[in-house]
Chain A
Amino acid sequence: MTSFTLIEKIIRNRTDVSDDEIYPNNIVWVNLDLVTARDYAGPQVIDLFQKNYTGSKTFNNEKIIFTPDCYPYGNDPKHAKDQEKIRVFAKEHGIKVTDLGSGIGSHLLFRRGFSKPGDIAIGADSHYNILGALGILGQGAGDVMLAFALKTGKSWIKIPETVKVILKGDYEWPTTAKDLALYVLKELHEYGITGKAVEFYGEIIDKLSIEERVTLCSLITEASGVIGFVPDDKITADYYSEIGIEIEMLSADEDARYVSELVLDIQDLGQYIACPPHPHNVKKIEEVIGTPINSIIIGSCTNGSSADIHDVAKILKGHKINPDVRFGIVPATREDFVSINLNGDMTIILESGGNFFGAGCSTCANGQYGLTGGETAVTLTTGNRNTQGKIGPADVYLASPVVAAATAIEGKIAAPKEVVKR
């Protein structure tokens, strides 16, 4: 085989084996560009490293970052000690730490240029594959693999088959990238992409910002896929150029071998919402309009960027959040916090009755901001998982920032158009 899909190409560039070893389902060693760990699992990785490789150095301290993002400002002794362990180890080995309040590790990787298209990066985060939005092969990894990677700079990977997904058509506001992501999740879950990679194509891609592409790729995990890629283009190149990095654009070969091709019609796509108890239980919003909601969270690696918070501010401007609703915003990164401060969105939301919390993973990290309490506290978040019991014992819905904002005003699930019209 001489032609390759995007993931095959990235792996091929990062392995020492010959081209005839690059085929779906084969397992190969890869050389990693970046190894990260955070306050969830990071301390266990350090324990394993110290126990197995006593006195050893890491493979390359400049290719490792610790990104504590799960438990900002350790509100209990256990996590505070875990975070300290990370700082002590990092100092000893000369490793960079993006410490509490910096934000979600996976986002910092592209925001701050720690990782670039064509790279392979691993971390203890099952949503590391959001990096596929920038042509980076990001993968979650377990404690043992990460400890091994800290020592050797390598990991093994099973080369997945790739499904080519063509998004046909266009949509208009108030439909957003989250609705697209939810719709795509619903379709791909049904189609079956377990253990497979996806490449996204279609004219709509040219219109999606980096943040919107991240949103689109962030729900591939919920369909049991390996990663979703948006092939590098001018938008990717411009994004990196602004932070002073020139990228080499990678694309799949024209005659690359895909396991299948799927065309999804997204013309005039409506708005979607994931209903309990699974992320893939995606319904048209019309089916659940009016469901009472009393806790709303804006945040996560799916929808926690300043662009997402701007969507919220546009709808909340001049309105008050329903007194029955607690409304929390957890910006994805410090950079997002700065942006919404500068453009006035933060003031608009505060005046409406919203509350801001330190940048980080928000509700998706069990135990962080967003715990809702008892069985009567029904939640709507812009995140990516609605697993029962994760945020609270009651139901959890997943929706776009615009739906979340409209719902905040009404106190029940609402479509933004109706609210704005008033």
Chain B
Amino acid sequence: MSKETIKAKAKLVIVDDVDTDQIFHQSLLTIHDPNEIKPHIFGNLEGYKSFGKEDNVGKILLVGKNFGKGSTRQQAVTGFIAHGITAIVGESFGPIYYSNSVNSGLLLVEVPGISEFKVKEDDDLEIDITQSLIINQNNGETIKCVKIPQPVLDIIKAGGLLKLGEIM
């Protein structure tokens, strides 16, 4: 990804404290192939169990507070990349989940008070990654994000930490 903006439709999973076990259950730990991980995403999250079989390619996922808390689980990141999710926007993220995602090239954006913004399913969002802003093109609302740090921008633009290492 080399663009300064990401334009995509919103997919809402506004639930607080989603554990990595609810994203990808530990009973499936032996699965590593992204395509096999894909159908199991949110397989353990009440209300969103069908996510794995839906088509959400290219969408921006909106989540709640402390998303991805719990054990380190690479599959809980790989699965969203396999789904073609372009970024995850949430109130806050578990620290291990944050580094696993960013290092894999999946952009996470923190927005304080995300649930107060009037984003609806399939709204057209535009993330300006250098200005750390999200514009909801359906209602014109501008959402201020926590400043996306320079290392995260560098990594995301390169397509992941290991890719960045090739050019550093």
Contact = CB atoms under 8 A, between A and B. Distances in A.
A362 to B, nearest CB: 24
Contacts of B161: 144-145, 148
A29 B102 CA distance: 14
Interface residues of A, number: 21
Contact of B162 (A17, A29, A144, A195): A144
B140 interface: no
B152 A27 contact: yes
Interface in B115-152: 146-147, 149-152
A266 interface: no
Decide if the interface of chain A is mainly helix, strand, loop or mixed: mixed
A53 B149 CA distance: 26
B95 interface: yes
Contacts of B95: 158, 195
Interface residues on B, range: 20 to 34
A53 B166 CA distance: 7
Contacts of A148: 103, 161-162, 164-165
Contacts of A151: 165, 168
A29 B103 CA distance: 13
A420 to B, nearest CB: 44
Nearest to A160: B95
Contact of A48 (B146, B149, B162, B164): B162
Interface in A324-373: none
A148 B146 CA distance: 26
B72 interface: yes
Contacts of B99: 142, 145
A156 B165 contact: no
Interface in A1-44: 17, 21, 25-29
A224 B99 CA distance: 16
Contacts of A48: 162
Contacts of B149: 26-28, 156
Nearest to A27: B149
A156 B158 CA distance: 15
Contacts of A195: 95
A1 to B, nearest CB: 15
A8 B166 CA distance: 29
Contacts of B150: 17, 21, 27-29
A26 B99 CA distance: 13
A144 B103 contact: yes
B165 A27 contact: no
B151 A29 contact: yes
Interface in A147-203: 147-148, 151-152, 154, 156, 158, 195
A52 interface: yes
B102 to A, nearest CB: 8
Interface centre among A48, A152, A195 (most CB of B within 10 A): A152
Contacts of A145: 99, 103, 161
A158 B151 CA distance: 10
Contacts of B165: 52-53, 147-148, 151-152
B151 A27 contact: yes
A28 B168 contact: no
A152 B168 contact: yes
Nearest to B96: A142
Nearest to B164: A148
Nearest to A51: B162
Contact of A28 (B151, B162, B163, B164): B151
B69 to A, nearest CB: 10
A321 to B, nearest CB: 38
Interface centre among A26, A142, A156, A195 (most CB of B within 10 A): A156
A52 B99 CA distance: 19
A396 B72 CA distance: 24
A53 B152 CA distance: 21
A17 B155 CA distance: 17
A77 B33 CA distance: 27
A158 to B, nearest CB: 7
A147 B103 CA distance: 12
Contacts of A152: 165, 168
Contacts of A52: 162-163, 165-166
A52 B72 CA distance: 22
Nearest to B110: A25
Nearest to B162: A52
Contacts of A158: 95
A144 B99 CA distance: 10
A93 to B, nearest CB: 15
A142 B151 contact: no
B103 A154 contact: no
Interface string B91-114: 000010001100110000000000
A144 B107 CA distance: 17
Given A26-B149, A27-B152, A52-B166, 6 more contacts: A27-B150, A27-B151, A48-B162, A144-B104, A151-B168, A156-B151
5 contacts: A21-B150, A27-B149, A28-B149, A145-B99, A156-B149
Closest 7 CB pairs of A and B: A27-B149, A156-B151, A151-B165, A152-B168, A148-B165, A52-B162, A148-B161
Interface of A: 17, 21, 25-29, 48, 52-53, 142, 144-145, 147-148, 151-152, 154, 156, 158, 195
Interface of B: 72, 95, 99-100, 103-104, 146-147, 149-152, 154-155, 161-166, 168
